[in-house]
């Protein structure tokens, strides 16, 4: 079974409308721009972060053109200093590799330990582009459907302006 199959099965079972774009491997938002994928809609940038002691983990989902100041972000979400989590932590919590980070990764978070931080500006877009746990496909889906899937999975959801 491919990693994306779980995502598509879930979306189909929920009746969530979506479209897909297949493309060569894209590790970063810049790769998505170079491949022309961003011309179809708002492709998200996803950051997997940890707090200073490694007790809290955050998946930050934001508009791709933005950058996040980690100090300001930590203050807004009530965390100690933030840094990028290791590849080992990414595998442990979301069963993903670098370049595959996506809000659908929470489907692999069996303990709902990762807190998901959404950029409030995502509400303003008709659809967002995110990977379905593989970085060779982009799924175009509404922000509300993604947010609902994350919330219903049991992960804490935080919505802020980034």
Q: How far is CA 45 from CA 10, 36, 61, 75, 154, in A?
A: 22, 15, 6, 20, 22
pLDDT tops 80 at residue 68: yes
Task: Report yes or no: 25 and 131 within 8 Å, Cβ to Cβ.
Answer: no
What pLDDT score does 40 carry?
81
Q: Per-residue pLDDT averaged across 100-118, rounded?
A: 96
Task: Report yes or no: 66 and 45 within 8 Å, Cβ to Cβ.
Answer: yes
* DSSP state, residue 122: G
pLDDT tops 90 at residue 2: no
Mean pLDDT, the chain, rounded, equals 94
| Total domain count, the chain | 1
In tens, the pLDDT along 3-19 reads: 899 999 999 999 999 99
Q: Per-residue pLDDT averaged across 33-45, rounded?
A: 89
Residue 46 belongs to a domain with what CATH number? 3.90.960.10
pLDDT tops 90 at residue 98: no
Weakest-pLDDT range from 26-35, 65-74, 102-111? 26-35
What pLDDT score does 99 carry?
86
pLDDT tops 80 at residue 28: yes
Distance, CA of 83 to CA of 73 (rounded, Å) = 11
Predicted TM-score (pTM) of this structure: 0.94
Distance, CA of 127 to CA of 93 (rounded, Å) = 26
Residue 133 contacts by C-beta under 8 Å, 6 or more apart in sequence? 3, 4, 6, 7, 96, 100, 102, 104, 105, 107, 108
Cβ–Cβ contacts within 10 Å for residue 98, how many? 14
Torsion of CA 152, 132, 108, 120, to 10 degrees: -50
Backbone angles phi, psi at 64, to 5 degrees: -60, -30
**In the structure encoding, which two tokens stand for residue 66, read together?**
């933005």
For the chain, the farthest-separated pair of C-alpha atoms sits apart, in whole angstroms, at 40
Residue 120 contacts by C-beta under 8 Å, 6 or more apart in sequence? 159, 160, 161, 162
Q: Which domain holds residue 60?
A: 3-160
What pLDDT score does 41 carry?
83
pLDDT band for position 39 (cuts 50, 70, 90): confident
pLDDT band for position 90 (cuts 50, 70, 90): very high
């Amino acid at each position: 079974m491919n990693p994306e199959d779980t995502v598509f099965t879930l979306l189909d079972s929920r009746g969530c409308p979506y479209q897909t774009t297949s493309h060569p491997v894209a590790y970063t938002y810049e790769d998505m721009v170079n491949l022309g994928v961003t011309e179809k809609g708002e492709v998200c940038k996803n950051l997997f972060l940890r707090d200073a002691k490694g007790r809290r983990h955050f998946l930050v989902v934001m508009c791709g053109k933005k950058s996040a100041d980690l100090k300001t972000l930590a203050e807004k979400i009530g965390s100690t200093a933030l840094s990028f989590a290791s590849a080992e932590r990414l595998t442990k919590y979301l069963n993903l590799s670098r370049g595959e980070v996506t809000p659908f990764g929470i489907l692999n978070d069996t303990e709902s330990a990762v807190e998901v931080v959404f950029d409030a500006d995502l509400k303003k877009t008709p659809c967002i582009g995110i990977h379905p746990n593989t970085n060779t496909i982009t799924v175009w889906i509404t922000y509300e459907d993604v947010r609902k899937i994350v919330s219903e999975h049991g992960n804490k959801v935080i919505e802020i302006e980034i």
